[in-house]
Amino acid sequence: MPKPRATNARKTGRRSRSVNRILFPLDALYQTAGVDPPKARMVSPEDLPPGLRKLLVHERSMTMTLERWFGRPIGLRTLSTLRKGSSFMRRVLLVRTDTGQPVAMGAARITLSDFAPRLRARILRNKVPLGRLLREAGVDYISRPRAFLAITPNHELMGVFWMREPSTLFGRRTELIHGGRRIGDVVEILPRGRMGRRV
């Protein structure tokens, strides 16, 4: 399966806007790239598949959660970015470093001026998952779920998750909270199938 190619949404000339607030900022990045976003609806935690519920219903970083689950660091592939002034959005695929298996797709919106220059520069390099960067920089934050999601994937999302047939995916929309205030918005979607731990 070929690796997804990164795209830079700044080159499209289209304005970013949210077409479905429960998917922001993911929907805005798709819209800017001229791609119809997936459809989503809110569900309760009890509606999540039991195996995925453990990975979604908490206030921890998804990066940290997946790295603990698999017992090793998680890699990152950048799919698209968009920067306007101090506002920065990116869509990434988190993958197992041993197999390349995709384990989550995330879209984040942050305000770069909220972070020190050195951390800001590391974020813009798009080489390391955001959760790990913030943890290593000593930014004590929580990922507060605002909605749990059932998602009908579009063709692009099926491609990044190596899906042969369409099926409902699950995820969450969170707010990053630091020092009592919001510093970012994140949508995280997990693939279907076994998310087995490293043996």
Q: pLDDT tens, 106-150? A: 999 999 999 999 999 999 999 999 999 999 999 999 999 999 999
Give the pLDDT confidence of 159-192 residue by residue, as tens digits: 999 999 999 999 999 999 999 999 999 999 999 8
CA 28 centroid distance within chain: 13
Q: How confident is the model at residue 45 (pLDDT cuts 50, 70, 90)?
A: very high
CA 168, CA 152: separation in Å to the nearest integer? 5
CA 176, CA 95: separation in Å to the nearest integer? 22
Q: Answer whether 30's CB lies under 8 Å from 15's CB.
A: no
- pTM (2 decimals)? 0.87
Rounded mean pLDDT of 81-104?
A: 95
Tell me the CATH number for domain 15-190. 3.40.1410.10
In 47-120, the DSSP E strands lie at: 74-84, 87-96, 102-111
Q: What ranges in the chain are assigned the alpha helix state H? A: 26-32, 50-56, 62-70, 117-125, 130-136, 155-160
Domain boundaries, the chain: 15-190
